[in-house]
Amino acid sequence: MTRIISGFAGSLTLRVPRAGTRPTSDRVREAIFSALEARDALEGSRVLDLYAGSGALGLEAASRGATDVVLVERAKPAAEVCRANAAAVVKAARGHSAPHIRVVVRAVAAYLETAPAGVDIAFIDPPYDLSESALARDLELLAPLLAADAVVMVERSSRSPEPQWPSGIAAERRRDYGETTLWWATTVQPAEPDQPVRPSQPE
């Protein structure tokens, strides 16, 4: 059983696709959101949940204060599950300002090629058999969409190598939870070009 852990929709049970997805365990999700709350990253944030599956990561963020959440899932049965779960979360927002949640039925790379910028938190939880080159392409497309000080979380098998981070995204840390590894990264600002040194004026 997958459920929302905390926030206004805490304890809400989520539907899970019958096949083709790998839900993030409650233990790992709790670790993810404890880290995000420790850095005060959730309140008012714009969240992108790629390879959304049931939408549990993006919807947990919505329950805890994110105001805009996009769930990207190419498999139509899973996308329908995302829609049902999103509707349940919005309904649970009684007395709270309901978050804006959108489900996009597209391949991740195709979505990122035309997506709007301003993402504060990006969750990337692809199938473990997604190739490293495909993941690198996703990260490259994601980088220009990220806001300053954005957080990127990539969930992979503990046997997978570190993701190939593109320019604009820098790794922060790795955390292992059994067969699951979380890679945390953040945006980095390009270095200012060196200013030419003006010759001193004669006195």
CATH number of the domain within which 66 lies: 3.40.50.150
* 129 in a structural domain: yes
Q: Determine contact, residues 187/168, Cβ cutoff 8 Å.
A: yes
Residue 20 has a pLDDT of 65
Residue type, 119: V
State the residue range of the domain holding 82. 41-187
Among 11-15, 107-111, 194-198, the least confident range: 194-198
Burial class of residue 74, CB neighbours in 10 A (0-12, 13-18, 19+): middle
- The answer to whether residues 128 and 157 touch, using CB atoms and an 8 Å cutoff, is yes
Is 74 domain-assigned?
Answer: yes
User: Per-residue confidence at 185, pLDDT binned at 50, 70, 90?
Assistant: very high
CA 203 remoteness from chain centre: 58
Q: Judge whether residue 192 has pLDDT over 70.
A: no
Q: pLDDT band for 1, please (50, 70, 90 cuts).
A: confident
Average pLDDT score, the chain: 92
Strand locations in 118-158 (E)? 119-124, 146-157
Residue 181 domain flag: yes
Residue 194 has pLDDT above 80, yes or no: no
Between 154 and 18, name the one with better pLDDT. 154
Reading the block at residue 177, the tokens are 């939870």
pTM of the model: 0.91
Domains contained in the chain, number: 1
Query: Cα dist. 43→37, 102, 154 in Å?
Result: 9, 18, 21
Evaluate if residue 179 carries a pLDDT over 80. Answer: yes
Give CA–CA dist 165/127, Å, rounded: 18
pLDDT (0 to 100) of residue 191: 55
- 125: nearest Cα among 87, 168, 160, 150: 160
Residues 6+ apart with CB under 8 A from 60: 4, 5, 6, 7, 29, 33
Mean pLDDT of 95-121: 95
Quick check: is 10 in a domain?
Answer: no
User: Counting Cβ atoms within 10 Å, is residue 45 exposed (0-12), middle (13-18) or buried (19+)?
Assistant: buried
Find the Cα–Cα–Cα–Cα dihedral 26, 29, 33, 35, rounded to 10°.
110
* 143 domain-assigned: yes
In a domain, 4, yes or no: no
Number of residues that this document lists for the chain: 203
Residue 9 falls within a domain, yes or no?
Answer: no
**Inter-CA distances, 124 with 52, 97, 98, Å:** 8, 26, 24
Tell me what pLDDT residue 203 has: 45
Q: Is residue 162 part of a domain?
A: yes
Distance CA 112, CA 131 (A): 17
